[in-house]
Structure 1
Amino acid sequence: MSTSLRTFFFSATLGVALAAGAWLAGPLPGLAEAPAAKAKAKAEGEAADKRGPAAQPADAVTRHSLGLGESRLAYVATAATLPLAGSKGEVTAHVFHVAYVLEGADARRPITFVFNGGPGAASAFLHIAAMGPRVVEFRPDGAAAEEPVSLADNPDTWLPFTDLVFVDPVATGYSRSAAGSEEGDRAFFGVDKDAEAMADFVRLYLTRAGRMLSPMFLVGESYGGLRAVHLADRLLAGGIGVRGAVLISPALDFALLRASRYALLPLALALVLPSLAAAHLELRDGPTGPLDMLAEVEQFARTDYLVHLASGRGSDRRIDQALARYTGLDPEIIARNRGRVSTRMFTRAYEKQKDRVLSRYDAAVSAAVPRRSGMHFDAILDGAVSVLTPAFTQYARQELGYHTDLPYLLLNREVSGRWDYGTSSTRQGYAGALDELQSARTRNPALGVLIAHGYTDLVTPYAASRFLVDQFAPIEGARPIELKVYRGGHMMYLRPPSRRLLTQDARAFYGAVLAAP
């Protein structure tokens, strides 16, 4: 590993540990920064906002080859920005993206646009940890990168069966509003605003690249799954064909992910239970232990447990004993909470005696976090950010030839806090993508949809997506939705075996969709 990457990686890792999960997007301030220094930094930031946008770096086009077994795959990489225009033709934003196109391929080859979630996450998670031609290798459990941190040819890249365009929405990655200010960025912070901007990006890219007739797919992770569904519906309504969408750990309906303490809490608790059970099984039996019991847990969650929760009754000995067996928690703790096993309760109670907290992003992984420290550290999310931020920064400059002094905003937490999730009478005030998914499948019944989840993901539990898909009314002639579940959590691809299986399933999915009449 080069000296620059080793230094940057050490600084990023130290920053996560000290800042309790704060995202990293540039040089770390001093550990005991004086008030005067903070005031100076604030003044400089405000001055930068007033100066307006900086000049955009030149597009970088490079040629590479990828080793896949005994063969090699030649491809062209383009790291660049595309300008988005407002209603009067004025430039409103510069959207950074990296495109990989196979050498010598024609326009009939599929092209896939890839988005991460957040909102506020750049695409480097999927880019250099899952799908791209270069990858940072993580340990088998996905909890940390292999040492020394480096990029290698990705044996599980999707490039053999589709060209790839990784997109960073405004205020993530190297994408910025044209105004060069926080106020300018906020013009893109909303479900509809974001979908409109990203649809404009897709249209513009396809037009300029001469790929409007290529079979087009969308991939989105987490909130990016919601984004991909909204994009599919919006693009189809605008006359741009979409052949398929791969939704990785998607946030399909925030009503189930941010349930209130009363209205939807029983359903949310019931649907996260299988993921709690999966975490307990792996923590008890190891990462390759049997998961046969999950079918029983899924049935219990939708029947006896949901009825108990909906009744509002207190502790029930039979229910409490079943929950203790499924989750590994002390029956007394369960009884004190009236059989309501929340994600927060589970992650904090499971290894409480060890002063360890389970990750919400993969509950089979824990971190030593003192109970009274006030820290909000997640072993999986913050560990990934501390590795992928410096890795992509160096990759963009040294391998892709894209030169900029902007910080790469892998996870901009300011975005989600200012996001306009919108309201709708059909969504009970929560953002979602269910109506849009059904609308897109109605516009194009041949639209392929593959949903991928990790068993031990407590952020977007797999049982929630399964429940939601089961509620859909049939659409005559529509292609059935596929749902796959893998070992691992929200970013199941951090585990190399699951990354490999995801790629295999995606390849089969693309082949089936493209072969359909």
Structure 2
Amino acid sequence: MSITKRQWLAGAASAAGLAGLGGAWAQEPAAAGPFVTRHAGVFNGRKLNYTATVGETILRDSAGVATARFVSTSYVRDKADQSRPVIFAFNGGPSSSSQTLHMMALGPKRPPVAQDPRSPEPAPSLIDNSFSVLDAADIVMVDPAETGFSRILPGGKREYFYSVEGDAQSVSDFVVAWCQANGRQASPKYVLGESYGTLRAAFMAGQLAKTLPLDGVFIFGQAVNMIETSQRAKNAVSYATNITALAAIAAYHGKAERSDRPMNLIIDEAYAFGMGEYLQALVRGSDLPASERQALAGKLQAMTGISADYYLANGLTITKMAFQRELLKDEGLMVGMYDARYVGPIPKPGERLPDPSFKPMQAIGPMMLEHYAKNLGVTWPASDYRSSAPQTSGWSWAPTLGPGGPFYDFDYQSQLSKAFAANPKFRLMVGTGIFDLTTTVGPARYLVSQSDYPRDRVIQRQYVGGHMAYTNEPTLKAFNDDVRAFVTGGRL
């Protein structure tokens, strides 16, 4: 699936010599813990003391049988009361550990990342993440079943946890159990999901609406409406919505006309063109007169840097994967799928090269393990840690339709409507990296425009960067500032 970050994590692990982190299916971390450590830090200019806990939560079925052992990492301000918000955060996959959000965005420590995509990455190390929202909210990093140190137990069934609905329900059950165990049922509760985790977050919003309604969900790199915006043959809406990313990336690399204009203006104009003139032309298909076809191909060339001849030969469309190779082809380069600011050589026939976007990800795996061992006192073997769950090829994407892919006719976005109905204060934030070729700005806007969500309770953000835009430090600050305002009711 194009939105998975398993390729990112696997690429990073391989580059870091961590190929053995997957482990065997039946392997379980040694019984120990929780690991509780106390710390002080300065976040958003505010000094505070906090407690980090790496501990387990046992999930049980209706008969009381233990089905899964969830291991989470929580950062809780000392003397926090129920008025303090709690953020439950996880990454994508399916199914990946939360190490990327943990180490690159929200946690108290992070590895530095070269800010010029053309520069070599610094040696792996840990620095303080002064941007973290820990000054405003407690943070719980969730590793779903079979990721991180979490495991399915003998009483659980893999097919349940390896499904959209079961996976989401298990994380919802974890949220309820964690709040009960920590006396935080009355705290404002927020879920932050990224990539595939946005599907999980949407389902959780609907599930928890019945038992423990959320106060907000932040979907970052959203895939909730990929059924509508995936680039299947003749899917006109997909090309119309995704033109935003092509225009932004072409401008970044100086391949579009008037590339020096403000990026927000470029994106706004591309979206208006895509959902207007371009969509209408694609819908007309072969009935579009040749003169109009030629004129439109010229506009597409000016906007995306791809030749009019290419568009004329390909039905006025280009897939995101083809664009990845075509934009800089004359230089022998391709842009990254997950962050198109990064470039690398085009593979030769039969050659497999890592996506250029992997470059800033290489430090995540080793730094996650170093953070556990040196800062959080975790003594479990590093070999027990899984950056991604094994054997997920049979993942079931819809509650009743079985395995196959995320593009069944299932209304994922309606799950969020249940959360709006359950809590009159519930808000939704949608964030997107403008140089991401997987989950782009256009579909995020389209998601909201096609929804029944109250517009005064929806916030949309676009960030300079890719699928994980917070690797760009100005975006890291903006991202955390937005999360901070979101969970505290501040101005957005």
TM-score w.r.t. structure 1 length? 0.84
Change (3 A) 1:93 1:244: same
Deviates more, 1:310-319 or 1:282-291: 282-291
Instruction: Say whether 1:267 aligns with 2:230.
Output: no
Q: Is the contact between residue 26 and residue 408 of structure 1 (CA under 8 Å) also seen in structure 2? A: no
Q: Give the distance between the partners of 1:106 and 1:486, measured in 2 at CA.
A: 33
Identify the match of residue 262 of structure 2 among 285, 290, 295.
290
Instruction: Say whether 1:219 aligns with 2:192.
Output: yes
Change (3 A) 1:217 1:303: same
Q: Is the contact between residue 81 and residue 95 of structure 1 (CA under 8 Å) also seen in structure 2? A: yes
* 1:393-426 deviations in Å (ceiling 9; x for gaps): 12111111112124432244742x221001679x
In the TM superposition, what are the counterparts of 1:364-513 in structure 2 within 5 Å? 364-375=341-352, 377-380=354-357, 382-405=358-381, 406-412=383-389, 414-415=391-392, 417-422=393-398, 429-473=408-452, 479-512=456-489
Amino acid of the residue matched to residue 26 of structure 1? G
Q: Which residue of 1 aligns with 2:80?
A: 105
Identify the match of residue 122 of structure 2 among 147, 152, 162.
147
Deviates more, 1:431-440 or 1:115-124: 431-440
Instruction: Say whether 1:254 aligns with 2:226.
Output: yes
Amino acid of the residue matched to residue 232 of structure 1? A
Amino acid of the residue matched to residue 276 of structure 2? T
Q: Is the contact between residue 278 and residue 456 of structure 1 (CA under 8 Å) also seen in structure 2? A: yes
SS in 1 for 2:323: helix
Q: Give the distance between the partners of 1:288 and 1:72, measured in 2 at CA.
A: 41
Identify the match of residue 200 of structure 1 among 158, 163, 173.
173
* 1:54-99 deviations in Å (ceiling 9; x for gaps): 5433210001111347753211000112111123212111111100
Amino acid of the residue matched to residue 175 of structure 2? V
SS in 2 for 1:397: helix
Q: Give the distance between the partners of 2:391 and 2:260, measured in 1 at CA.
A: 38
Q: Which residue of 2 aligns with 1:304?
A: 277
* CA shift for structure 1 position 149: 1.4
SS in 1 for 2:223: coil
Q: Is the contact between residue 209 and residue 418 of structure 2 (CA under 8 Å) also seen in structure 1? A: no
- Percent of residue pairs identical: 27
Q: Which residue of 2 aligns with 1:26?
A: 20
Identify the match of residue 326 of structure 2 among 349, 352, 362.
349
SS in 2 for 1:56: coil
Q: Which residue of 2 aligns with 1:3?
A: none
Amino acid of the residue matched to residue 282 of structure 1? Y
Q: Give the distance between the partners of 1:497 and 1:367, measured in 2 at CA.
A: 24
* CA shift for structure 1 position 13: 5.6
Q: Which residue of 2 aligns with 1:229?
A: 202
* CA shift for structure 1 position 376: 5.5
Q: Give the distance between the partners of 2:472 and 2:117, measured in 1 at CA.
A: 5
Instruction: Say whether 1:340 aligns with 2:313.
Output: no
Specify every segment of 5 or more residues in structure 1 that has no aligned partner in the other structure, as ranges. Answer: 1-10, 18-22, 29-43
* CA shift for structure 1 position 449: 1.0
Q: Which residue of 2 aligns with 1:241?
A: 213
Q: Give the distance between the partners of 2:471 and 2:260, measured in 1 at CA.
A: 16
Q: Which residue of 1 aligns with 2:7?
A: none
* CA shift for structure 1 position 443: 1.7
Instruction: Say whether 1:164 aligns with 2:143.
Output: no
Change (3 A) 1:251 1:349: same
Q: Is the contact between residue 30 and residue 380 of structure 2 (CA under 8 Å) also seen in structure 1? A: no
Q: Give the distance between the partners of 1:435 and 1:53, measured in 2 at CA.
A: 37
* 1:93-140 deviations in Å (ceiling 9; x for gaps): 111110000112222111110011111121111111001111122122
Q: Which residue of 2 aligns with 1:39?
A: none
Q: Which residue of 2 aligns with 1:41?
A: none
Amino acid of the residue matched to residue 280 of structure 2? V
Q: Give the distance between the partners of 1:27 and 1:201, measured in 2 at CA.
A: 24
RMSD of aligned residue pairs (Cα, Å):
3.0
Q: Give the distance between the partners of 1:273 and 1:69, measured in 2 at CA.
A: 36
Q: Which residue of 1 aligns with 2:6?
A: none
Q: Which residue of 2 aligns with 1:37?
A: none
Change (3 A) 1:312 1:407: farther
Amino acid of the residue matched to residue 280 of structure 1? A
* 1:419-451 deviations in Å (ceiling 9; x for gaps): 1001679x9824552111112111223201111
Q: Which residue of 2 aligns with 1:15?
A: 14
Amino acid of the residue matched to residue 460 of structure 1? T
Change (3 A) 1:432 1:129: farther
Q: Is the contact between residue 358 and residue 365 of structure 1 (CA under 8 Å) also seen in structure 2? A: yes
SS in 2 for 1:421: strand
Q: Give the distance between the partners of 1:376 and 1:258, measured in 2 at CA.
A: 24
Amino acid of the residue matched to residue 293 of structure 1? I
Q: Give the distance between the partners of 2:85 and 2:227, measured in 1 at CA.
A: 34
SS in 2 for 1:137: coil
Instruction: Say whether 1:91 aligns with 2:91.
Output: no
Number of matched residues? Answer: 471
Amino acid of the residue matched to residue 214 of structure 2? V
SS in 1 for 2:79: coil
Instruction: Say whether 1:173 aligns with 2:148.
Output: yes
* CA shift for structure 1 position 309: 1.4
* 1:222-270 deviations in Å (ceiling 9; x for gaps): 11112112112211212x13111111111112313534323xx211111
Q: Give the distance between the partners of 1:511 and 1:445, measured in 2 at CA.
A: 16
* CA shift for structure 1 position 452: 0.9
Amino acid of the residue matched to residue 283 of structure 1? H
TM-score w.r.t. structure 2 length? 0.88
Q: Which residue of 2 aligns with 1:117?
A: 92
